[in-house]
Amino acid sequence: MRTEERYDLGKLVTFKPNKRLPIYNWVHFKEAFSRSFAALMLNQLDIHEGNWVLDPFCGVGTTLLAAREKGVNAVGIDAHPFFAFVSQVKTRSYSSEALLELKRDFFSEKFEKPDLRKINPLFRKAFSKYALEDILFFKSEISKVKDRIMRDFLVLALVVSAMRVSYAFKDGAVIRFFRRKHPPLRKVFRTTVKKFIRHLKKAEFKPCEIVVKQGNARKLGFLETKSLDAVVTSPPYLNKLEYTKAFDVEEVLLKELISIDSAKAYLGADFGRGKTVFPKLGLPPIAEAYFSDMELCLREMYRVLRVGGKVALVVGQGVFPDRIVESDLLIAKLGESVGFNMQKRLVVNKRVATKQRTVKIGVALESVLLLAK
């Protein structure tokens, strides 16, 4: 396997370049890669209009949006209900005129004070009394919107707006709560809807088909064998699966607003369930479960790709108190074991890993694996 150092790509495998990009920046997700990286990989893998690309860990839909800009058909899967919902809403086609009419009518309704006695305890920590009243009022108003696409658009705008006036603060994988002053939710919600519509009016998407599902990357039974041309994705990193907990407020809020399936199938979550794929390495149980699941994911990627299909996989090495687990190299071995030809490893980032902030464990790499069927 050839290895190249490409630290010029390091920033592109982060969410930072998306912060100023319309639609891409509707929901901040620091674990995502950038539009620039997704577009670069689509070109690198020689994907054109009419082709099909898969992102089985689609997060907030960066690969899917980049595919729409290029006229490439795409399938996105995510186990987390909030991320799947975000990707669905961001990649749909809308009528700007219909959205403007919806905005005008929706915000003309007179406020009626709702009953807060049965509110979720998490909401009482996360929002002020006035924000909660607005959330429940707008929930009632959204339920009256008959068109599902329009309804979901408003739901996402409300969730985004609610989090901007919440007491919740994401500190890594932990949610902390700080009481502070915010503008009224109604004002933020109206501004957010207006911004979303403005972004959609300026978007330049080419005709293509986008399919987004909440699901399990280890079981892609709804996709036909040899039906896709490429995979561009980044699975959750080993020993970094807890980041989804930082979105607990969004998930509960979404569940309050619409019916969602909270069932999740995270990589490595079920210790001892799968086989031991690297028995000689003495890996921690969570690592064994993770690689067992990754093997299943790679098998599904291989199955759904046409002969000649290609994969771009962003992976980070796992950090444990006693070692660095070279996840990229191990995933490359798993890819080869299921039939892929490992073409290249691009090392894009490296960082010194420590414990207790002073004791050096080693240097952890972040890489892009390029494979072909």
Which residue has 């894009």 as its token pair? 348
SS3 98: helix
Q: Are 25 and 19 in contact (CB under 8 A)?
A: yes
SS3 28: coil
SS3 167: coil
pTM value is 0.94
SS3 214: strand
Q: How far is the C-alpha of 203 from the C-alpha of 199, rounded, in Å?
A: 6
Determine the length of the chain: 373
Domains of the chain: 2-73+227-240+266-372 (3.40.50), 96-202 (no CATH)
Burial 40-68 (b: 16+ CB within 10 A, else e): bbbebbebeeebbbbbbbbbbbbbbbbbb
Amino acid at 72: V
254 contact partners, CB below 8 Å, separation of at least 6: 81, 82, 85, 155, 159, 260
Tokens of 83: 């991320």
Per-residue pLDDT for the chain (373 aa), expressed as one digit of tens each?
899 999 999 999 999 999 999 999 999 998 999 999 999 999 999 999 999 999 999 999 999 999 999 999 999 999 999 999 999 999 999 999 999 999 999 999 889 899 888 888 888 899 999 999 999 999 999 999 999 999 999 999 999 999 999 999 887 778 888 988 889 999 999 999 999 999 999 999 999 999 999 999 999 999 999 999 999 999 999 987 666 778 889 998 999 898 887 766 677 766 555 578 998 999 998 899 999 999 999 999 999 999 999 999 999 999 999 999 999 999 999 999 999 999 999 999 999 988 877 888 999 999 999 999 9
One DSSP character per residue, 281-349 reads G---HHHHHHHHHHHHHHHHHHHHEEEEEEEEEEEE-EEETTEEE-HHHHHHHHHHHTT-EEEEEEEEE
Q: How far is the C-alpha of 192 from the C-alpha of 203, rounded, in Å?
A: 16
Which residue has 């689509």 as its token pair? 42
Q: How far is the C-alpha of 161 from the C-alpha of 151, rounded, in Å?
A: 15
Backbone angles phi, psi at 345, to 5 degrees: -120, 125
Question: C-alpha dihedral over 174, 177, 180, 185, to 10 degrees?
Answer: 80
Best CA proximity match to 73, nearest among 227, 235, 299: 227
SS3 365: strand
Q: What spatial distance separates the first Cα and last Cα of the chain, rounded to whole Å?
A: 15
Taking CA 346 as the corner, what is the angle to CA 319 and CA 11, rounded to the nearest 5 degrees? 75
